[in-house]
A and B are shown apart, each in its own frame.
Chain A
């Protein structure tokens, strides 16, 4: 499969990818390397993983990173309660069997261990890796390079199949060079006008061409404004759904309800205050 095939596959599943992103994904798949996606929030980094699992028809295993995420909630944990129950139950009959207690039955598989013990290669999405602590990042390196997990009581567990790993980050913290080195890298930016139009028509094919162009133009113009939180692609799609749901056929028709729908795009109070009705209308004018 070449990268252009991959691009059209992605597009058929509803994801409009740039050449660069499709190439990065293609390389990462064919070389079995993790793919690190960086970029502002709302440009569709997470969606890449979801779409990929659809194309490959495999399971998507997602590990959402957060501050304080540790090995026990990312890799594995012993089911202590169950172990304890087993111990107290066996007390009456015989001595508790230690090997029995530290067996697979009492192991709680967390996403990372789960991902390497699948029959068919899953897509492993490590979302917002920059939110996790540095210690966890170091642990992640080990797993990403060897695809094995060592559990002291059970020994080393090797990967049955190698997962396709996709990491996303949006700059909450600088990632270490070591992690970057192991990954294929792609920076995902806000789509340009043509790409965004393509995305919109993929998701809302019934929208008429004029309105779609207006919507995309408006959102693109809005991104140029000084906002605290720039609207992403997902917001744009929400907004388009709202507009078509309200039966608006032209953005310049009804300034008041247009302004009311901006709640889909502007997510902070300051941003909403900075785009009053007049500016919204000016942006519509620019978009047209």
Chain B
């Protein structure tokens, strides 16, 4: 039986209209199932259905299930019941740009392929499109796949914000891979996988030898502390922006991570990197880095780091990452001594060299050669792919 309602007449009954409304909400990203539709109908029987305000209040408490949905429900309600559906469609892309571009990418897949054959394209959309293509082909690891198409490009070519964003994401993943460590020893705790027999035995004394309270043990987290030192001297300026984004990723993944940059002097930049406005801070830092971009004193700067910061920020649970091309103006003994002293702290040393990815590269620069014996890992950082390929190595350190 069609009920007399003042709803616009597209469907006949109240239930059909509610089903349509639920469909509308679903299309706007609310997660609603059949049970919710049923609940909504049940709700309507509890209230005065002819009063739109009342219906709105009631459906809002049934359909919205978190603060975001709660905030946008009123608009969605108005758009559907008061026939402003066209308006909401115009709203849609602005509301959810990520979602929108995702769909457009999928539909443009073929075009993207063709244009990639014709020449170099600059549209960020197309790039991410190709990235998706690559990830579907099953090539590479999880980090590598998302940035497949740009892996061939030398990092010098990255000046666009999207690329910096990608470098940041790679860094965040790396930081997570390095950081998550468990202790080998167990500690007693409220929850845990293993029983703490010693504690159980001790506690059972007071109950006549009967163990009531089962104490547990677990392995606590022993996160690794990351320290990144970036060379921004003249020879490295071309890489500095992208490496700064990389550092920003490392720093934002964990509050304890420290970052420094050096040219002729050493500057601590972790606080600047934590600035919530990423492009402002990166631009600021890049300017700072460029302003100095003169000669390199790697050895002297690492020595300075040893003196000023290493005492309290480097321990045996630290991983020190040095990003530099190894061209040093100091005699090689300086860098060798400085690294040896840093190594005595018990930390792991990683040297990422953007030149190493080049064909036929040999670490013959005297500074680099002197540093080699002290390093736990010497890896290329020529492309973003190189950086993401570090993940398994870092996990093993």
Contacts and interface: CB of A to CB of B under 8 A. Distances in A.
B39 A20 contact: no
A185 B73 CA distance: 12
Interface string B193-212: 00000000000000110101
A181 B46 contact: no
A195 to B, nearest CB: 16
Interface stretch (A23-31, A121-129, A205-213): A23-31
Contact of A38 (B48, B54, B66): B66
Nearest to A187: B70
Contacts of B70: 185-187
Interface in B41-63: 42-43, 46-48, 53-54, 57-58, 60-62
Contact of A30 (B46, B53, B190, B208): B46
B39 A31 contact: yes
B61 A68 contact: no
A205 B53 CA distance: 31
A257 to B, nearest CB: 38
Interface residues of B, number: 29
B207 A81 contact: yes
A26 B54 CA distance: 12
B67 interface: yes
A185 to B, nearest CB: 5
Nearest to A29: B46
A181 B61 CA distance: 11
Contacts, number: 71
A187 B65 CA distance: 9
A23 B57 contact: yes
A184 interface: yes
A19 B65 CA distance: 18
B64 interface: yes
A180 interface: yes
A156 interface: no
Contact of A187 (B39, B67, B210): B67
Most chain A CB inside 10 Å of its own CB: which residue of B39, B61, B64, B210: B61
A92 to B, nearest CB: 16
Contact of B46 (A20, A26, A38, A68): A26
Contacts of A70: 191
B191 A68 contact: yes
A184 B61 contact: yes
B36 interface: yes
B210 A31 contact: no
B316 to A, nearest CB: 30
Interface in A1-38: 2-3, 19-20, 23-24, 26-28, 30-31, 33, 38
Contacts of A24: 57, 60-61
Given A3-B47, A84-B210, A31 B42 contact: yes
Nearest to B68: A187
A184 B70 CA distance: 12
Interface in A170-219: 177, 180-181, 183-187
A80 interface: yes
Contacts of A23: 47, 54, 57-58, 60-61
B35 interface: yes
A177 B46 contact: no
B31 interface: yes
Interface string A58-87: 000000000010100000000011001000
A131 to B, nearest CB: 14
Contacts of A187: 64, 67, 70-71
A31 B42 CA distance: 8
Nearest to A25: B61
Contacts of B66: 38, 180, 185
A67 to B, nearest CB: 9
Interface string B332-375: 00000000000000000000000000000000000000000000
A181 B62 contact: no
B211 to A, nearest CB: 10
Nearest to A171: B67
A84 B208 contact: yes
Contacts of A30: 46
Nearest to B208: A84
A184 B60 CA distance: 9
21 contacts: A3-B47, A3-B54, A3-B57, A19-B53, A20-B57, A23-B61, A26-B47, A27-B43, A31-B39, A31-B46, A33-B39, A38-B67, A70-B191, A84-B208, A84-B210, A181-B31, A183-B65, A184-B62, A185-B61, A185-B70, A187-B64
Task: Please name the 9 residue pairs, one residue from A and one from B, whose CB atoms are nearest each other, closest first.
Answer: A24-B61, A23-B57, A180-B65, A187-B70, A30-B46, A68-B190, A80-B212, A184-B61, A185-B65
Interface of A: 2-3, 19-20, 23-24, 26-28, 30-31, 33, 38, 68, 70, 80-81, 84, 133, 177, 180-181, 183-187
Given A27-B46, A187-B67, 14 more contacts: A2-B48, A19-B53, A20-B61, A23-B57, A23-B60, A27-B58, A27-B61, A68-B191, A80-B207, A81-B212, A181-B33, A184-B62, A185-B65, A186-B70
